[in-house]
Amino acid sequence: MHGMVRGALVAAAYVAVSYALAPISFGPLQLRVAEGLTLLPIIFPEAVPGLFVGCLVANLIGPYGLPDIVFGSLTTLAAAVVTRLFRRSVVAYISPIVLNAVFVSAYLTFLTQVPYWMLVLGIGASEAVAVLAIGVPLVRFMRRRWASEGG
């Protein structure tokens, strides 16, 4: 039961942060701060579905409609699964950055007419900021917190 609640909290946090920072969370030039949560599958397996649901709900308000809802959410799910599977490797930290840069850019280039490689660089850089500046410290904090509470 705790896992399901934790997964729901991850989804809710993703949505809340995305909505609160909506002006910078969507678009060809974006800094989706909620992507800092994408490393949580390193610690919590239930974060995988939580991130998927959170991204799906957050993308409902985005300007790109169904392509972003479907492909953006599936990209987040793929990154979360890879992060979980490779949680003891640097791959866990790189997968959200690379997958979002490559796949989100692929459909956004058609929706925005911004050249693909410009989107890859921009989304990759913003994803790296969210993952490395927010996600890494969050994982470190959560590991210390869970270790101190015995769980």
The domain segmentation of the chain, as residue ranges, is: 2-149
Q: Is 58 exposed, middle or buried (0-12, 13-18, 19+ CB in 10 A)?
A: buried
Tokens 């969370």 map to which residue?
Answer: 25
Confidence check: pLDDT of 1 > 80: no
Determine the pLDDT at residue 114. Answer: 95
Measure CA 94 to chain center.
12
What CATH number has the domain spanning 2-149?
Answer: 1.10.1760
Cβ pair 43, 143 in contact under 8 A: yes
**122-150 pLDDT, tens per residue?**
999 999 999 999 999 999 999 998 766 65
Determine the pLDDT at residue 149. Answer: 60
Determine the pLDDT at residue 75. Answer: 98
Determine the pLDDT at residue 3. Answer: 82
Determine the pLDDT at residue 28. Answer: 82
Q: Map residue 100 onto helix, strand or coil.
A: helix
Q: Is 8 exposed, middle or buried (0-12, 13-18, 19+ CB in 10 A)?
A: middle
Determine the pLDDT at residue 29. Answer: 83
**23-69 pLDDT, tens per residue?**
999 888 889 999 999 999 999 999 999 999 999 999 998 899 999 99
Determine the pLDDT at residue 147. Answer: 66
Q: Which two three-digit tokens encode residue 67?
A: 């392509």
Tell me how far apart the terminal alpha carbons of the chain are, to the nearest angstrom: 15
pTM: 0.93
Compute how many other C-beta atoms are within 10 angstroms of the C-beta atom of residue 9.
15
